Structure 1
Amino acid sequence: MTEPSGPHRRIADTIRPAMLEGLHGATLHGSDGAQHIAAWVDWIAEAVTVHVVQPIADERDAFADRVDTLSHVAQNHKKAYSAAAQDVQRLEARVAELEAEVEQLREASSDSPGS
Protein backbone atom coordinates (compact mmCIF):
# COMPACT_ATOMS: atom_id res chain seq x y z
CA MET A 1 0.00 0.00 0.00
CA THR A 2 1.31 3.46 -0.86
CA GLU A 3 2.11 6.05 1.77
CA PRO A 4 -0.71 8.64 2.22
CA SER A 5 -0.15 12.12 0.83
CA GLY A 6 0.62 15.14 3.03
CA PRO A 7 -2.96 16.44 3.34
CA HIS A 8 -4.30 12.91 3.87
CA ARG A 9 -1.75 12.25 6.60
CA ARG A 10 -2.44 15.60 8.33
CA ILE A 11 -6.19 14.93 8.35
CA ALA A 12 -5.72 11.38 9.63
CA ASP A 13 -3.27 12.55 12.31
CA THR A 14 -5.74 15.20 13.43
CA ILE A 15 -8.71 12.86 13.59
CA ARG A 16 -7.15 9.57 14.79
CA PRO A 17 -6.36 10.43 18.45
CA ALA A 18 -9.76 11.95 19.11
CA MET A 19 -11.53 9.08 17.34
CA LEU A 20 -9.67 6.46 19.38
CA GLU A 21 -10.32 8.31 22.65
CA GLY A 22 -13.93 9.18 21.91
CA LEU A 23 -15.00 5.79 20.58
CA HIS A 24 -13.26 3.79 23.32
CA GLY A 25 -16.03 1.73 24.90
CA ALA A 26 -18.77 3.35 22.81
CA THR A 27 -21.69 1.33 21.53
CA LEU A 28 -21.58 1.30 17.75
CA HIS A 29 -24.80 -0.55 16.99
CA GLY A 30 -28.44 0.31 17.40
CA SER A 31 -29.71 3.82 18.08
CA ASP A 32 -26.85 4.61 20.53
CA GLY A 33 -24.35 3.58 17.87
CA ALA A 34 -26.09 5.74 15.29
CA GLN A 35 -25.84 8.74 17.64
CA HIS A 36 -22.14 8.11 18.31
CA ILE A 37 -21.38 7.66 14.63
CA ALA A 38 -23.39 10.77 13.67
CA ALA A 39 -21.54 12.84 16.29
CA TRP A 40 -18.17 11.60 15.00
CA VAL A 41 -19.12 12.26 11.38
CA ASP A 42 -20.01 15.83 12.37
CA TRP A 43 -16.72 16.18 14.27
CA ILE A 44 -14.74 14.80 11.31
CA ALA A 45 -16.48 17.21 8.93
CA GLU A 46 -15.67 20.11 11.26
CA ALA A 47 -12.04 19.02 11.64
CA VAL A 48 -11.59 18.72 7.88
CA THR A 49 -13.27 22.09 7.35
CA VAL A 50 -11.15 23.86 9.97
CA HIS A 51 -7.83 22.22 9.11
CA VAL A 52 -8.11 21.76 5.35
CA VAL A 53 -11.00 23.51 3.64
CA GLN A 54 -10.94 26.85 5.47
CA PRO A 55 -7.20 27.46 4.98
CA ILE A 56 -7.63 26.74 1.26
CA ALA A 57 -10.65 29.08 1.09
CA ASP A 58 -8.71 31.79 2.96
CA GLU A 59 -5.77 31.41 0.58
CA ARG A 60 -8.11 31.54 -2.42
CA ASP A 61 -9.79 34.70 -1.08
CA ALA A 62 -6.44 36.36 -0.42
CA PHE A 63 -5.30 35.46 -3.93
CA ALA A 64 -8.53 36.85 -5.40
CA ASP A 65 -7.99 40.08 -3.44
CA ARG A 66 -4.46 40.38 -4.83
CA VAL A 67 -5.73 39.75 -8.37
CA ASP A 68 -8.44 42.40 -7.90
CA THR A 69 -5.86 44.88 -6.62
CA LEU A 70 -3.48 44.18 -9.48
CA SER A 71 -6.33 44.44 -12.00
CA HIS A 72 -7.30 47.81 -10.55
CA VAL A 73 -3.70 49.01 -10.67
CA ALA A 74 -3.35 47.81 -14.26
CA GLN A 75 -6.56 49.59 -15.29
CA ASN A 76 -5.33 52.81 -13.67
CA HIS A 77 -1.96 52.48 -15.42
CA LYS A 78 -3.71 51.88 -18.74
CA LYS A 79 -5.82 55.03 -18.27
CA ALA A 80 -2.77 57.05 -17.20
CA TYR A 81 -0.78 55.78 -20.20
CA SER A 82 -3.60 56.71 -22.57
CA ALA A 83 -3.82 60.19 -21.05
CA ALA A 84 -0.04 60.60 -21.27
CA ALA A 85 -0.04 59.48 -24.92
CA GLN A 86 -2.73 62.08 -25.68
CA ASP A 87 -0.65 64.74 -23.88
CA VAL A 88 2.39 63.79 -25.95
CA GLN A 89 0.41 64.08 -29.20
CA ARG A 90 -1.00 67.45 -28.11
CA LEU A 91 2.44 68.73 -27.10
CA GLU A 92 4.06 67.47 -30.32
CA ALA A 93 1.38 69.32 -32.30
CA ARG A 94 1.99 72.49 -30.26
CA VAL A 95 5.78 72.18 -30.77
CA ALA A 96 5.20 71.86 -34.52
CA GLU A 97 3.00 75.00 -34.43
CA LEU A 98 5.64 76.94 -32.49
CA GLU A 99 8.41 75.78 -34.80
CA ALA A 100 6.33 76.95 -37.75
CA GLU A 101 5.79 80.34 -36.08
CA VAL A 102 9.53 80.66 -35.36
CA GLU A 103 10.30 79.81 -38.99
CA GLN A 104 7.79 82.44 -40.17
CA LEU A 105 9.37 85.02 -37.86
CA ARG A 106 12.84 84.17 -39.17
CA GLU A 107 11.65 84.46 -42.75
CA ALA A 108 9.93 87.75 -41.98
CA SER A 109 13.03 89.15 -40.31
CA SER A 110 15.28 88.05 -43.17
CA ASP A 111 12.84 89.59 -45.69
CA SER A 112 12.72 92.95 -43.89
CA PRO A 113 14.51 95.84 -45.69
CA GLY A 114 17.02 96.54 -42.96
CA SER A 115 18.51 93.04 -42.93
Structure 2
Amino acid sequence: MATRTTADVLTTISEDVADLASIAHALDGLTSELDLEGVDHNKIRDLQRVDALFQHLDDIAVLLGNMSTMIGAGPDLNVQDLSNSVRLDYLKSRLSDAEKTRAISPDAGNVNLF
Protein backbone atom coordinates (compact mmCIF):
# COMPACT_ATOMS: atom_id res chain seq x y z
CA MET A 1 0.00 0.00 0.00
CA ALA A 2 1.56 3.28 -1.13
CA THR A 3 1.04 6.19 1.23
CA ARG A 4 1.85 9.89 1.47
CA THR A 5 1.71 12.16 4.45
CA THR A 6 -1.29 14.42 4.86
CA ALA A 7 1.00 17.46 4.63
CA ASP A 8 2.42 16.23 1.32
CA VAL A 9 -1.04 15.65 -0.14
CA LEU A 10 -2.25 19.07 1.04
CA THR A 11 0.80 20.71 -0.54
CA THR A 12 0.14 18.93 -3.84
CA ILE A 13 -3.51 19.98 -3.86
CA SER A 14 -2.52 23.53 -2.91
CA GLU A 15 -0.16 23.69 -5.91
CA ASP A 16 -2.84 22.40 -8.25
CA VAL A 17 -5.45 24.85 -6.95
CA ALA A 18 -2.93 27.66 -7.44
CA ASP A 19 -2.45 26.51 -11.05
CA LEU A 20 -6.22 26.56 -11.54
CA ALA A 21 -6.37 30.05 -10.05
CA SER A 22 -3.83 31.23 -12.62
CA ILE A 23 -6.07 29.86 -15.39
CA ALA A 24 -9.02 31.75 -13.89
CA HIS A 25 -6.85 34.89 -13.73
CA ALA A 26 -6.14 34.52 -17.45
CA LEU A 27 -9.85 34.05 -18.20
CA ASP A 28 -10.63 37.17 -16.22
CA GLY A 29 -8.07 39.07 -18.26
CA LEU A 30 -9.65 37.87 -21.48
CA THR A 31 -13.10 39.05 -20.45
CA SER A 32 -11.87 42.65 -20.38
CA GLU A 33 -11.04 42.31 -24.07
CA LEU A 34 -14.56 41.25 -25.06
CA ASP A 35 -16.96 43.60 -26.79
CA LEU A 36 -19.96 43.34 -24.49
CA GLU A 37 -22.11 45.96 -26.19
CA GLY A 38 -25.58 44.53 -26.70
CA VAL A 39 -24.87 41.41 -24.63
CA ASP A 40 -27.53 40.18 -22.20
CA HIS A 41 -26.75 41.57 -18.72
CA ASN A 42 -27.30 38.16 -17.13
CA LYS A 43 -24.44 36.79 -19.22
CA ILE A 44 -22.25 39.71 -18.18
CA ARG A 45 -22.96 38.88 -14.54
CA ASP A 46 -21.85 35.32 -15.22
CA LEU A 47 -18.56 36.67 -16.62
CA GLN A 48 -18.07 38.66 -13.43
CA ARG A 49 -18.19 35.38 -11.52
CA VAL A 50 -14.82 34.50 -13.07
CA ASP A 51 -13.37 37.22 -10.84
CA ALA A 52 -14.90 35.56 -7.79
CA LEU A 53 -13.64 32.18 -9.01
CA PHE A 54 -10.00 33.16 -9.12
CA GLN A 55 -10.23 34.95 -5.78
CA HIS A 56 -11.70 31.86 -4.14
CA LEU A 57 -9.14 29.58 -5.75
CA ASP A 58 -6.31 31.86 -4.65
CA ASP A 59 -7.57 31.77 -1.06
CA ILE A 60 -8.12 28.01 -1.07
CA ALA A 61 -4.58 27.44 -2.36
CA VAL A 62 -3.15 29.58 0.45
CA LEU A 63 -5.40 27.89 3.02
CA LEU A 64 -4.31 24.40 1.95
CA GLY A 65 -0.66 25.44 1.99
CA ASN A 66 -1.03 26.82 5.51
CA MET A 67 -2.85 23.69 6.65
CA SER A 68 0.01 21.61 5.26
CA THR A 69 2.48 23.58 7.35
CA MET A 70 0.33 23.51 10.48
CA ILE A 71 -0.41 19.80 10.42
CA GLY A 72 3.21 18.70 10.46
CA ALA A 73 3.59 15.44 8.61
CA GLY A 74 0.16 14.28 9.70
CA PRO A 75 -1.10 10.76 9.25
CA ASP A 76 -0.20 8.76 6.18
CA LEU A 77 -2.92 8.58 3.55
CA ASN A 78 -3.54 5.66 1.23
CA VAL A 79 -2.69 6.94 -2.26
CA GLN A 80 -4.88 4.36 -4.01
CA ASP A 81 -7.95 5.32 -1.98
CA LEU A 82 -7.34 9.00 -2.74
CA SER A 83 -6.84 8.30 -6.45
CA ASN A 84 -10.04 6.26 -6.57
CA SER A 85 -12.00 9.26 -5.30
CA VAL A 86 -11.21 11.47 -8.33
CA ARG A 87 -11.89 11.17 -12.06
CA LEU A 88 -9.07 13.13 -13.71
CA ASP A 89 -6.00 11.09 -14.63
CA TYR A 90 -3.81 14.16 -14.08
CA LEU A 91 -5.00 14.52 -10.49
CA LYS A 92 -4.76 10.77 -9.89
CA SER A 93 -1.14 10.85 -10.98
CA ARG A 94 -0.42 13.96 -8.85
CA LEU A 95 -1.86 12.21 -5.81
CA SER A 96 0.28 9.16 -6.53
CA ASP A 97 3.56 11.02 -6.96
CA ALA A 98 3.72 14.83 -6.86
CA GLU A 99 7.23 15.13 -8.25
CA LYS A 100 6.98 12.61 -11.08
CA THR A 101 3.97 14.25 -12.72
CA ARG A 102 4.76 17.94 -12.14
CA ALA A 103 5.68 18.36 -15.82
CA ILE A 104 2.21 17.27 -16.96
CA SER A 105 -0.05 20.27 -17.38
CA PRO A 106 -3.82 20.10 -16.78
CA ASP A 107 -4.31 22.34 -19.80
CA ALA A 108 -2.14 20.22 -22.12
CA GLY A 109 -3.72 18.79 -25.22
CA ASN A 110 -5.80 19.97 -28.12
CA VAL A 111 -7.90 23.11 -27.92
CA ASN A 112 -11.63 22.48 -28.31
CA LEU A 113 -13.51 25.68 -28.99
CA PHE A 114 -17.25 25.33 -28.98
Which protein has the larger Cα radius of gyration, Structure 1 or Structure 2?
1
Please give the TM-score of this superposition, normalised by the length of structure 1.
0.29
Answer 1 or 2: which has greater strand percent. Answer: 2
Please give the TM-score of this superposition, normalised by the length of structure 2.
0.29
Greater relative contact order (CA < 8 Å, ≥ 6 in sequence): 2
